[in-house]
Structure 1
Amino acid sequence: MLNVIDQLPPGLLDVDPLDLHRVLDGPTLIHLPGRREQPLFISTLLHGNEVSGLLALQALLRRYVGVELPRALSVFIGNVAAARDGLRHLPGQPDFNRIWKPGPTPEHAMARRVIEEMRPRRPFVSVDVHNNTGVNPHYGCVNHLDHRFLHLAALFGRTVVYFTQPDTVQSRAFAELCPAVTLECGKSRDPLGVERATDFLDACLHLAALPEHPVAAHDLDLFHTVARVEVEQGLRFGFGECGESLCFPGDMDHLNFRELPADTVLATRPEGTRGTGLVAVDEAGRNVTARYFGLAQGQVRLLRPLMPSMLTLDATVIRQDCLCYVMERIDPVQAAASA
């Protein structure tokens, strides 16, 4: 499934993501030389409807037309077929950001080949660029509480999320090769998100090394993802005054990265309904729904303070992925020291 090439295909720098299939016929790994031999690895379009990474890559490479790159660059462009239809992934396809551990599909084999292609090249850092469908700040994600990883994420912004599940994502796999970060750049095609990602990638090209000393605590807002929240399988849900089995507020995504107090109403259910309609699973795979959510008088309420991320009003994304993640604030210096 994987094309491996050592030059930019004609038209790549100008094509719209919806027309990318006219330039690339599938997932492609591109190797480009630069002054420093260890490459910056960039992964983009793992989700076909999240195009800011490709737009940032195009903007970055346009800065170096006719000029030697400061550092070698390896770029993986993922789900070209889904990008054509503006979808996260096509029906019957696995999620391209859930294939980075060994598995049975051709897509798993493709991801493994990308890793094995990059291993002998000893990448300097890995950057995976994504978008959200709800209202979120721009932030970085790491899978290791290593000082180098935290410095890399802080280069993008002071808000950083640490998570270990799902463990099948690209950044988790590449964290075994080099410092790795996932960039969440707001909504797809958001100009500010594209600009910030472009500048971040350019900064990575110019870095000689990452600091190994701790990030100052006042320079970082670090959050730990402690649970993933889904809607019960097969349950009908909607937003606003929806009349479904589970109704969320019409502006629910505005709750992202807000520290919500206990007793906050997250949803409503018809009178006489049993259960919250939500399923929360912690990093160890345990059902912890009763720790966070309760139902009283038709209202789904928080049982303890929490901060959500990735809340969205996109029902398809909720069904394909999840409703949100639950986070807790942690001290970056203490966290890295105890890791």
Structure 2
Amino acid sequence: MLTILDHLPPGFLDLDATRLHEILPDPALIHLPGRRPEPVFVSMLLHGNEDTGLRAMQALLREYQDRELPRALSIFTGNVSAARFGLRRLDGQPDYNRIWPGGEPGDSPEHAMMRDIVDIMRARRVFASIDIHNNTGLNPHYACVNRLDDAFLHLATLFGRTVVYFLRPTGVQSMAFAELCPSVTIECGQPGQDYGIEHAREFVEACLHLAELPAHPVAAHDIDLFHTVAIVTVPPAVSFGFGEADTELRLLGDLDYLNFRELPAGTLLGWARTGSHAGLAAHNETGEDVSARYFSRDGGEIRTARRVMPSMLTLDTRVIRQDCLCYFMERLDI
């Protein structure tokens, strides 16, 4: 199901994500030559409703239509079929950022495709890996790494000083490529924001100009480092909504304003319907249920039980069901 090309197909620089399927009906791996042969790998549209990666790459490649790239570039266009409808993924599809090598094993065509891509890029001696994403909630721009290695942290801080280290979820692109080269996920705000597109474009271009990544540690004053310690979900059997929703679990209508804010213990998150035992669930990096560590209940009020900093809080109920409500982080000394 993977198309492999050594050139940009006609129309690539002009079509938006909802029309990319017209020229690339399947996911594609596009190899473009550059002055330095070891490529930068860029993945985009792993979630079909996150189009900043495509728009950033289009802007970058327009600038290099008539000149050589400073380094070879390999681009993976992910879930083009979901992008056609502006969705994270289609019903029945796996999440394209949960099926890479190192995650839960699977025998789907999509699992096999991700294994093939890793093998191809290993053979090409990939220099660095960048996975471009958007958030559905209100978040600052930040980078994520899966290893606390100097080269990884230098790559991340080239995007910005806010860096998140995480080990779960597994099966993500950046974790698979961490076996091959310095790898990073960049979170570029909400889709359609010009600043996010330009920030991603500038970052990829800067990586293409790198001869190497520094081997010395990142200075402590150049990084704000956080560690993801829990994934927060709504249990599948619990009905939920926001604001004035008539559901078992009613969450604050502006919950995403709490992203990247250090919340004290006792911060109100929502309410459980009278007589209901509905609540939020939290699991740590090993999959252990740690809900009691992070949430308390006072009558029907759902509150934080300890100081936490959330990220990726979203009001999109479909995304919450397909993935999670948010992540909890703690500050980490470099």
TM-score by length of 1: 0.96
- 1:19 counterpart residue number: 19
Give the superposition deviation at 1:54. 0.4
Give the superposition deviation at 1:25. 1.4
Give the superposition deviation at 1:243. 2.4
Q: 1:45-100, CA deviations, whole angstroms, 9 ceiling, x for partnerless residues?
A: 00000000000010010110110000001111111110001111111110000110
Distance 2:193 2:251 in 1: 25
Q: 2:281 aligns with which of 271, 279, 282?
A: 279
Give the superposition deviation at 1:173. 0.1
Letter in 2 for 1:244: T
Give the superposition deviation at 1:233. 1.1
Counterparts of residues 140-289 of structure 1 (less than 5 Å): 140-274=143-277, 276-289=278-291
Letter in 2 for 1:42: V
Task: Report the more deviating stretch, 241-250 or 148-157.
Answer: 241-250
- 1:295 counterpart residue number: 297
Distance 1:203 1:235 in 2: 45
- 1:66 counterpart residue number: 66
- 1:42 counterpart residue number: 42
Question: SS state of the match for residue 85, structure 1?
Answer: coil
Matched, 1:313 2:315: yes
Gaps of 5+ in 1: 333-339
Q: 2:122 aligns with which of 95, 119, 123?
A: 119
Calculate percent identity across the aligned residue pairs: 63
- 1:337 counterpart residue number: none
Q: 1:265-319, CA deviations, whole angstroms, 9 ceiling, x for partnerless residues?
A: 1111123332x52110000110000000011111001110000000000000000
Give the superposition deviation at 1:234. 2.0
Counterparts of residues 134-145 of structure 1 (less than 5 Å): 134-145=137-148
Distance 2:88 2:201 in 1: 22
Q: 1:237-281, CA deviations, whole angstroms, 9 ceiling, x for partnerless residues?
A: 11112221111111100000000000001111123332x521100
Gaps of 5+ in 2: none
- 1:31 counterpart residue number: 31
Distance 2:253 2:305 in 1: 22
Question: SS state of the match for residue 35, structure 1?
Answer: strand
Matched, 1:108 2:111: yes
Question: SS state of the match for residue 108, structure 1?
Answer: helix
Question: SS state of the match for residue 132, structure 1?
Answer: coil
Distance 1:241 1:233 in 2: 20
Question: SS state of the match for residue 327, structure 1?
Answer: strand
Question: SS state of the match for residue 70, structure 2?
Answer: strand
Letter in 2 for 1:306: V
Distance 1:50 1:273 in 2: 36
Distance 1:269 1:285 in 2: 25
Give the superposition deviation at 1:143. 0.4
- 1:335 counterpart residue number: none
Question: SS state of the match for residue 229, structure 2?
Answer: strand
Letter in 1 for 2:305: L
- 1:304 counterpart residue number: 306
Give the superposition deviation at 1:23. 1.3
Count of aligned pairs between the two proteins = 331
Question: SS state of the match for residue 55, structure 1?
Answer: helix
Distance 2:66 2:41 in 1: 21
RMSD, aligned α-carbons: 0.8
TM-score by length of 2: 0.98
Q: 1:204-256, CA deviations, whole angstroms, 9 ceiling, x for partnerless residues?
A: 01011111111111110000000101001121111112221111111100000
Distance 2:236 2:314 in 1: 17
Letter in 1 for 2:300: G
Question: SS state of the match for residue 81, structure 1?
Answer: helix
Q: 1:97-136, CA deviations, whole angstroms, 9 ceiling, x for partnerless residues?
A: 0110241110000101111111111111000000000000
